[in-house]
Amino acid sequence: MKILEIKTMSGPNYWSVTRHKLIVMLLDLEDMEERPTNTIDGFLERLQGLMPSLYEHRCSEGVAGGFFHRVKEGTWMGHVIEHIALELQTLAGMDTGFGRTRETQNRGVYHVVFSYQEAKAGIYTAKAAVKIAEALINGEPYDLDADIQNLREIREDERLGPSTGSIVEEAIKRKIPYIRLNRHSLVQLGYGVNQCRIQATIASTTSSIAVEIACDKEETKNLLESAEIPVPRGRIIYDEEDLRNTIDKIGYPIVTKPVNGNHGKGATTNIRTWEDAVAGLKDAKVYGRAVICEKYITGRDFRVLVINYKFVAAALRTPAAVIGDGVHTVQQLIDIVNSDPRRGYGHEKVLTAIKVDSFTMDMLSKKGYTLDTVPADKEELWLKPTANLSTGGTATDVTDFVHPTNVFMCERIARIIGLNICGIDIMADDLSVPITENGGAVLEVNAAPGFRMHLDPTEGLARNVAEPVIDMLYPPGSSARIPIIAVSGTNGKTTTTRLIAHIVKQMGYKVGYTTTDGVYIQNQLMMRGDCTGPVSAEFVLRDPTVNYAVLECARGGILRAGLGFHNCDVAVVTNVAEDHMGLGGIDTIEKMAKVKSVPANTVFPEGYAILNADDDHVYGMHKDLKCKVAFFSLNEHSERIKQHCAKGGVAAIYENGYVSILKGAWKIRVEKVTNIPLTFSGMAEFNIANVLAAILATYVQDFKTEDIRQALQTFVPSPALTPGRMNVFHFHNYSVMIDYAHNTHGIMAIGKFIKSIDASVKVGVIAGVGDRRDEDIISLGEAAANVFDEIIIRQDKNLRGRSEQEIIDLMMKGIHSVDPNKKITVIKKESEAIDHAFRNAVKDSFIVIISDVIPDALEQVKQYKAKEDGVIL
């Protein structure tokens, strides 16, 4: 078997608009296509032996053991690999559960699709699942445990930590979108101007001064002490002389810790001898020159969490420890503790397995113990100096038992430091009485406090501490989103996107939009090139100046990685034609329509899908949509439009020279097409359709028709505003038009416009595209022959898998099938083909350049125009 391709979906996609995280593996079964599982001796038994938990997979039979029954009856290896991939992730602590296996147009080649939690883990799983299947087929041993451990390590390295993850999960519950800004813990919540950011548990609303204060333990202590908050006595020290003087003043036991430390790093507690004090000083100085030396407060370790200056939760923390039984060694006791099913690797379970490290060995050494020592019966042996859950500690929720005086004190501390997300460490015997009465003290105030101890305490009630964070960032009535209009289809996407963006901009919005030409933020070009995929969409949605997004969504990006957003307010589908057929497993027009419908399937229920009623495949999409639908049509007598409006629906039509909105029985004329520059006085019929889609998309967003009318009048097609979309240059003796029409449907559309042009000869500079089917390239030649009197065949820079001559021959075949005597010139380089067209232009001719690289073609034509006008560029 051979893996041909692995794609990682991260947004709504062809396979599912609701399950965004999918691995799509293109797998060639090769010889295994002829060998279903029931023909492989011992395969089922070996599979059951290696992965017995697959019994829980119900498969299509809907009962436990269903998958094993399918294997027994006989199924293909792609299906088996799908289930192995899902179970392998589950065994590594990543339960996903969605899978599909579908055969492609090529025999023995399958799309194996399954969900993932972390992309790198999903890719690893895809490869591992194939190896596992091959080992089972061949009856070879396989180390499954190694894969599981590797996946656990990938998971811990890649995923958000429990604190950040809990905030993101709470945001998802509230339909707040998020974008991970790096591979660590920096996350954007919301879009555009309404975004907030979190990094771990520091929010974009958190005061940087407060974080600085909290990170400076001495400064924190001084502020609290001056506010009559009980804190341990102590001072900043730099060397052993300072250490000696401080101990003489405050006495043993003491604590040493770095001034700028966190998470217990470099801290040593309960120091009672000079030797241990010197060692503690050395450990703390690893993290900075300045060290805090203070009185060690006895009692129990509590963490209080305050969010938005309100008390939220409290937990009692206990360091990783074992209880002796007089029989087992320290190592054996650790193993017994780690056998608790609640303990796992990293953050996969409520508790983390205890790991022996230098801190453990140091603490054992101080007691004269080793890992082979047998502690006395009921002796409690601490294995870590701090009570962090990540090192094996435990937590008990005590939220309901905190005394009101202590609650008031903690909320006051948060205000004193200025931290809106604040973790307060308190040492005291009990928090149910004021710490001023039981000798307790505040040890530290922490920025970016961990949430795990509150989310998943070892004992007591779990507290959803992420909820008040989201409440703080997005109070009731506030929005995390900005309006999104998505545009898909075969042709007309870019023009429609640009027109919608123009209308929206005229309404005073700060628009970000993506096109095949680039990404624009408030009409400023930010990225050049084909920017119609998810990365470009996220670029716009990440921009903090944008309050409205218009996103062109092309086939390639949807198939490659899915959409760059989860939901939109309006989705436009212009049309569906046979272009890019055979690529990415899309070999029928029905499948292509499914690709183009993905954005429409993400529209909010209260939003609108804007569909072309003149296109059967686009019109048919409305049956599966869960949002509102509005149709547009060039035919004012369309029965589809009549039926829709009879039910009170909204539509846009072209009638009596006007583009008009229909709202139920009412007709609202927006503007005459002769007053809309984009329609070229109504001669560019396909642009009338684009106008209808644009006015409908903005009308359902409550834009006023008078404002839409004004925007239509000021949207003038030009190289600056619509590069490569019917850019016409009038020379003294001839005219030149540059367009991006790159498929049969596009050539036929501009052909209707060109036929209305009065010219002595109509010349087309065209090219075939190498990654299209033979019939598509031939069809392009046929369409060109029906439009142009003369044809110049050029070549794209990227031949996409074919030879130049092969493409030329197919184009010629199409042209000659229409007119065997058509004048044809072959000039492979685009710039030379354009030069040839200019040099041989005859009076009153009309030259159409179908360009692959629009900026280069525009620049070349501008040079000719400037030369004729006597202008030096």
What tens digit of pLDDT does each residue of 611-659 get?
999 999 999 999 999 999 999 999 999 999 999 999 999 999 999 999 9
Mean pLDDT of 718-747: 87
Nearest to 337 by CA among 808, 294, 328, 346: 328
Q: What is the DSSP letter of 641?
A: H
Is residue 264 scored above 80 in pLDDT? no
**Residue at 260: amino acid letter:** N
Tell me how far apart the alpha carbons of residues 694 and 684 are, in angstroms, rounded to a whole number.
15
Is residue 147 scored above 80 in pLDDT? yes
Tell me how far apart the alpha carbons of residues 648 and 724 are, in angstroms, rounded to a whole number.
39
Q: How far is CA 802 from CA 262, 588, 805, 807, 815, in A?
A: 60, 22, 8, 7, 19
Is residue 263 scored above 80 in pLDDT? no
Q: How far is CA 191 from CA 230, 467, 536, 826, in A?
A: 43, 20, 14, 49
Vertex 862: Cα angle to 861 and 868 (nearest 5): 95
Q: What is the pLDDT of residue 407?
A: 98
Q: What are phi and psi of 715, to 5 degrees?
A: -90, 95
Tell me how far apart the alpha carbons of residues 6 and 25 are, in angstroms, rounded to a whole number.
4
Decide: 515 and 530 in contact? Cβ < 8 Å: no
Which pair of structure tokens corresponds to residue 346?
Answer: 């990293």
Mean pLDDT of 293-322: 94
Give the helix/strand (H/E) hosting 611. strand 603-612
Q: What is the pLDDT of residue 851?
A: 86
Q: What is the DSSP letter of 431?
A: S
Least confident interval from 127-141, 272-286, 342-356, 409-423: 342-356
Nearest to 267 by CA among 425, 151, 73, 473: 425
| pLDDT tens-place string over residues 202-258 | 999 999 999 999 998 889 999 999 999 999 988 899 999 999 999 999 999 999 989
**Bigger pLDDT: 742 or 735?**
735
Is residue 269 scored above 90 in pLDDT? no
Q: What is the pLDDT of residue 873?
A: 54
Query: What confidence category does residue 339 fall into, taking pLDDT thresholds of 50, 70 and 90?
Result: very high
Nearest to 862 by CA among 689, 746, 728: 728
Q: What is the pLDDT of residue 561?
A: 95
Q: What is the pLDDT of residue 260?
A: 77
Mean pLDDT of 729-758: 88
Q: What is the pLDDT of residue 132?
A: 97
**Most confidently modeled range among 543-552, 739-748, 817-826:** 543-552
Q: What is the pLDDT of residue 872?
A: 60
Mean pLDDT of 426-440: 94
Query: What confidence category does residue 440 fall into, taking pLDDT thresholds of 50, 70 and 90?
Result: very high
Tell me how far apart the alpha carbons of residues 446 and 423 are, in angstroms, rounded to a whole number.
5
Query: What confidence category does residue 776 fall into, taking pLDDT thresholds of 50, 70 and 90?
Result: confident
Is residue 348 scored above 80 in pLDDT? no
Give the mean pLDDT of the chain.
93
Q: What is the pLDDT of residue 265?
A: 78
Q: What is the pLDDT of residue 767?
A: 87
Residue ranges with strand state E in 713-854: 727-730, 734-739, 762-766, 790-793, 823-826, 845-850
Instruction: Return all residues near 44 (Cβ < 8 A) that are at least 6 apart.
Output: 37, 68, 71, 72
Q: What is the pLDDT of residue 262?
A: 65
Q: How far is CA 515 from CA 434, 483, 495, 568, in A?
A: 63, 17, 9, 17
Q: What is the pLDDT of residue 871?
A: 67
Least confident interval from 223-232, 349-358, 429-438: 349-358
Nearest to 486 by CA among 634, 602, 575: 602
Beta strands at 351-352 and 343-344: parallel, antiparallel or unpaired: parallel
| pLDDT tens-place string over residues 89-111 | 999 999 988 999 999 988 999 99
Centroid of chain to Cα 276: 50
Handedness of CA 9, 15, 21, 27 (dihedral sign): negative
What SS3 class is residue 326?
coil
Tell me how far apart the alpha carbons of residues 140 and 149 are, in angstroms, rounded to a whole number.
20
Is residue 800 scored above 80 in pLDDT? no
**Bigger pLDDT: 639 or 851?**
639
Tell me how far apart the alpha carbons of residues 367 and 387 are, in angstroms, rounded to a whole number.
19
Beta strands at 291-295 and 310-318: parallel, antiparallel or unpaired: unpaired
Reported pTM: 0.85
